[in-house]
Amino acid sequence: MSSRITIKDVAKEAGVSIATVSNVMNGTGRVSIRTVRKVEDVIERLQFYPSKAARNLKDKSSHLIAVVVPYLKEARLRDNPFYWKLMIGIEEGAKHKSFQVMLMDVNDEESFAFVQERHLDGLIVVGTFQNAPVIDRILALKKPVVFMDSYISDLSLYQVYLDDEEGGYLGAKHLLELGHRSIGVMCGLLIEGGVYHARWKGFQKAIREAGLSMDNQHIFDIHTSAEKGRRLAHQIAEEHPDITAMFSFSDIGALGLIRGFHEKGIRVPDDMSVMGFDDMYYMEYMNPALTTIRQNVHEKGRAAVEMLMELIDDSATSARQIVLPVELIVRESTDICKHTAQS
């Protein structure tokens, strides 16, 4: 490969000093219009691209941010298309501000060197947990950081949320309006201040508003995955004949539930209503098409990256938490409760 074109080549070719070339590129200093033209011509002709490495050395800013996904190896993350949409949203927003994005996997605690080495300007941390040791490591970096899809109750941290409580509320209300009185909830791990917990609170609120008791509802606080959903459906088929509707706090879980019920000869929605959360792509193509709570993941990525940009610019907004709206999407997997009410 031919050796790179540098600022020196441009200066020589244009018959000016490198300082002038630099000034032209950055629009700094006083340069005559004629010189500007001449230099720009040469830059264009020589296809000169200034080295960011050299620039970073002065500026300290790398114009690079990282999306950090702790524990990337876990199949849970790997199989979740959610993250891809997120990456794309983040990439778009970053590009807009002429930042570029790296994907980092930091399952081992020592792998934070890159943040310092690369002079990263900021971090978006996705999907970690309250009290995860990795959080302290990240904060110790003293870099601008936005947490998303995380379970952190510390309100001094910058975070992007969904209106999870509203989502839980809307879902429960929908089932209630269909006449269901005994609902099972596959709700993930209920950690105080976490997203699942918020959904759970919304659920409870709807139940109370309907004048019902939480005692008739069933909580299954297991991790949400398709396989777990499938097994849970089996369990419910055998042990909980009173349940007429299931609310899974993730579409993935709902998928597994429906499959599990099917295997047990329980028809959805005829014998059992199932409602999800997320509205992943495909969900409208399922049989039955899934009723769910829609969140806009792409938008979430955009919001996170915008927040991070403000932090980096030091033009931080007042709000440290951004809450994105959710929407109830009614399709086929939920239906009127046909069981006889048995007060």
Partner DNA sequence: CTGAAAGCGCTTACAG
Residues engaged in binding DNA (CB under 7 A): 3-4, 6-8, 15-23, 25-26, 28-32, 34-35, 48-51, 54-55, 57-59
If DSSP codes are grouped into helix, strand and coil, which group holds residue 257? Answer: helix
Tally of CB atoms within 10 A around 122? 22
Q: Which stretch binds a second copy (CB under 8 A): 97-105, 198-206, 216-224, 315-323?
A: 97-105
Residue type at 290? Answer: L
Q: Assess 18 for contact with a second copy (CB under 8 A).
A: no
Quote the least distance from Cβ 9 to DNA, whole Å: 8
Question: Which residue, among 163, 104, 156, has the nearest Cα to 134 in the 3D structure?
Answer: 104
Quote the least distance from Cβ 341 to a second copy, whole Å: 29
Residue with tokens 């000869």: 265
Q: Binding partner of residue 302 among a second copy, DNA, none, CB under 5 to 8 Å per kind? A: none
Which residues sit opposite 160 in a β-bridge?
148, 322
Quote the least distance from Cβ 307 to a second copy, whole Å: 19
The CA distance from 274 to 290, in Å, is 8
Quote the least distance from Cβ 21 to DNA, whole Å: 7
Quote the least distance from Cβ 41 to DNA, whole Å: 14
Q: Which tokens hold the place of 341? A: 């009410």
Q: Assess 117 for contact with a second copy (CB under 8 A).
A: yes
Q: Which stretch binds a second copy (CB under 8 A): 113-121, 155-163, 193-201, 240-248?
A: 113-121
CA distances from 157 to 4, 83, 150, 192, 196 (A): 43, 21, 11, 16, 19
> Helices 82-96 and 297-313 meet at what angle, rounded to 10?
40
Question: Which residue, among 327, 289, 284, has the nearest Cα to 162 in the 3D structure?
Answer: 327
Q: Binding partner of residue 26 among a second copy, DNA, none, CB under 5 to 8 Å per kind? A: DNA
Q: Binding partner of residue 34 among a second copy, DNA, none, CB under 5 to 8 Å per kind? A: DNA
Residue type at 81? Answer: P
Instruction: Locate all alpha helices (DSSP H) within the chain, ordered by sequence.
Output: 7-14, 18-26, 33-46, 52-59, 75-78, 82-96, 113-117, 133-140, 164-177, 195-209, 226-239, 251-263, 297-313
The footprint of a second copy on residues 231-270 (CB under 8 A) is 252, 255-256, 258-259, 262
Q: Which tokens hold the place of 38? A: 């001449």
Residue type at 314? Answer: D
Q: Which stretch binds a second copy (CB under 8 A): 36-44, 162-170, 282-290, 318-326?
A: 282-290
Q: Which is nearer to DNA, 58 or 156 (CB)?
A: 58
Site pattern 44..73 for a second copy (x: CB under 8 A)? -----xxxxxx-xx--x-x---------xx
Report how many residues bind a second copy under the rule CB under 8 A.
Answer: 57
Interface ranges with a second copy (CB under 8 A) = 1-2, 4, 49-54, 56-57, 60, 62, 72-73, 77-81, 83-85, 87-88, 91-92, 95, 100-105, 113-114, 116-119, 142-143, 226, 230, 252, 255-256, 258-259, 262, 281-282, 285-287, 289, 298
